[in-house]
Amino acid sequence: MSHPRIDFDPFDEPRPAGTSHPMLDGLRERHPAFRSEARNGFWVLTRYDDIVAAYQDAESHSSRAVSVADPDPSYRWIPVMLDPPEHTTWRRLLRPLFTPARAAAMRDAIRRRCVELIDGLAGNGSCDFVADFARRFPTTVFLEFMGLPVDRLDEFLEWEHAILHPPPSGKGRAEAMSKVTSCFQDLIADHRASPPAPPTDLVSAAIGFEPDGRPVTDDELLQLCVVMFLAGLDTVTAQLSYSFWHLAGHDADRARIVAEPGVIPDAVEELLRAYSLVLPARRLTADSDAHGCPMRAGDMVLLPLTMANRDPRVFPDPQTVDLGRTPNRHIAFGAGPHRCLGAHLARLELRIALEEWHRRIPDYRVPGGARPMEHTSLVLGLDTLPLTWPPPETV
């Protein structure tokens, strides 16, 4: 039996904002599973039930490789690229640092940083939301969470962009990665030499970890820091960008958030569902057959969260953003044992951004003639988002 082969590359050229999600919707409705020969060749599961089942089956779907572009990586990001039982050990160590209570303890500092950024923009009447807010806000939160000075913000923004969004040539990526690695090595060494008491940040807490009863190594701490840098910044930036792109173009949704701030937690969940942006993969450890696709051990399989979260078999009218949608069983933060540890903190950042922005800048839009573009990779996101609004004195 033949199986579908689609010319699909998640690392495609930039395209107009709002293109990727409908394109992936179309693929899902045509094929529950298919094969792409892009990159090294990989399979794609497209529907909610199959994708959730794959995430929950960590034994057959290994996280040792999480990108279809790199099926045999030399690195091992902790805990993202660990399988049980090793993953279970690290998850148990890290979980106390990512509880709702720990996120709540950061609320005032996060809100203060958010307000400072917005107040610095409000009087301008315009901004590039991606560059001026969506990238800067979560990076300030990350620096404090890791125990790094916020005055290194511009340095980290430069490294982040070079690593996550390099030019096609890849120029600058290796150099930036080397600088990030060196920065975290210095941070680990400083905390080893003078451990804060009590621990005040992720690194100072992690140096006391004892996985399997032994002291944590510097290399393990480095891999943990790197994955926090890569996973914690681009995802929140991208989600903020898509959320505000949607609200800038949907006056009724924006007006409701302004008039009813109490809807913001539900709005965050619905925007997470409608604009899910991570395209993770797994490496199969056993042969399987999905909808006539003969998948073999060692093959990579892409499990796009956005395809699951916009599946009409689970979400009625999934292309419509319904700020009061209930139930909303989205998996924007993944599913199974690798569900995102930082979900509570990410939700808090998104809620605070929506609250404080709409308190100060309630009426904004994408200016006529502007053409925001989105990039495709392991994380979908906007490259730019120009916004304009009335000057404060006329609001």
Strands in 89-198 per DSSP E:
126-128
pLDDT for the residue 395: 46
Domain that holds residue 62: 15-394
pLDDT digit string (tens) for the chain, length 395 residues: 578 999 898 887 889 999 999 999 999 999 999 999 998 899 999 999 999 999 999 999 999 999 998 899 988 899 999 999 999 999 999 999 999 999 999 999 999 999 999 999 999 999 999 999 999 999 999 988 988 888 888 998 888 888 877 776 678 888 999 999 999 999 999 999 998 888 889 999 999 999 999 999 999 999 999 988 887 778 999 999 999 999 999 999 999 999 999 999 999 999 999 999 999 999 999 999 999 999 999 999 999 999 999 999 999 999 999 999 999 999 999 999 999 999 999 999 999 999 999 999 999 999 999 999 998 888 899 999 999 999 776 54
Label each residue of 250-299 as H, E or C: CHHHHHHHHHCHHHHHHHHHHHHHHCCCECCEEEECCCEEECCEEECCCC
Is residue 9 in a domain?
A: no
User: What is the DSSP track for 343-355?
Assistant: HHHHHHHHHHHHH
Instruction: Write down the number of H helices and E strands in the chain.
Output: 15, 12
The number of distinct structural domains making up the chain is: 1
Is residue 282 in a domain?
A: yes
pLDDT for the residue 168: 67
Residue whose tokens read 């210095």:
186
Task: Pull the structure tokens for residue 276.
Answer: 């899910």
Is residue 239 in a domain?
A: yes
Is residue 322 in a domain?
A: yes
Is residue 190 in a domain?
A: yes
pLDDT for the residue 393: 66
- CA 166, 168, 169, 174 torsion: positive or negative? positive
Is residue 302 in a domain?
A: yes
Task: Pull the structure tokens for residue 263.
Answer: 């809807």
pLDDT for the residue 313: 98
Is residue 7 in a domain?
A: no
Can you give the CATH number for the domain in which 281 is found? 1.10.630.10
